[in-house]
Amino acid sequence: VLIVPPEAAGERLDRFLAGRLGSRAAAERAIEGGALVDGIARAKSHRLAGGEDVSVPDLPAATPGPPPAAPPIVHEDEHLLVVDKPAGLVVHPGAGHAGDTLVDALRGQIAGGDPERPGIVHRLDRDTSGLLVVARSDEAFERLSDLVRERALERRYLALVHGRPRSRSG
């Protein structure tokens, strides 16, 4: 049973469940499978009031799977790693992503910062590929974090576009 917090008042049932179950598809399956709001089946567009009990039948516990294969390491020294993150790989654990992240693949090689996402000073979205700098020590994490905060760490992006964008910016 999930209890709807007051700050979720006004949120749609499907969006609330997607945030808890890790994906919109999982939320859809839960609603179609008989999720109940205070004992009543509701439409996915039902607006929550806050304080309700949302029961989801057969709600699977998040069990971590085996870590993914580590992506190619482009640069390695005693302070940091530069990894070539492929599209589709999540950087750090979060809702619905236990045991299948870059952090899990590099466990034991990286350190610094939040224990849930050690060494991560910036990230790339799941569907974005590219080079990612990861700290290997607390000192390296602090220095890299300072560079990111001061905007002194240069980042470059390349996007492939299909068709013709309506605007030159944005």
Given 125, 127, 138, 146, the catalytic residue = 125
- Three-state DSSP class for residue 50: coil
Secondary structure (H, E, C), 73-90? EEEECCCEEEEEECCCCE
53 is known as an active-site residue:
no
142 band by pLDDT with thresholds 50, 70 and 90: very high
53: enclosing H helix or E strand = strand 53-55
What percent of the chain has a predicted confidence (pLDDT) above 90? 37
Average pLDDT over residues 54-59: 77
> 19-46: per-residue pLDDT in tens?
887 777 778 888 888 889 999 999 999 9
Angular region, 140: left φ>0, alpha ψ -120 to 50, beta rest:
alpha
pLDDT of residue 62: 46
Mean pLDDT score of the chain, rounded to an integer? 85
pLDDT of residue 104: 83
Cα-based angle 55, 60, 65 (whole degrees, multiple of 5): 155
> 106-123: per-residue pLDDT in tens?
888 898 888 878 999 988
pLDDT of residue 95: 60
Q: Would the pTM count as exceeding 0.85? A: no
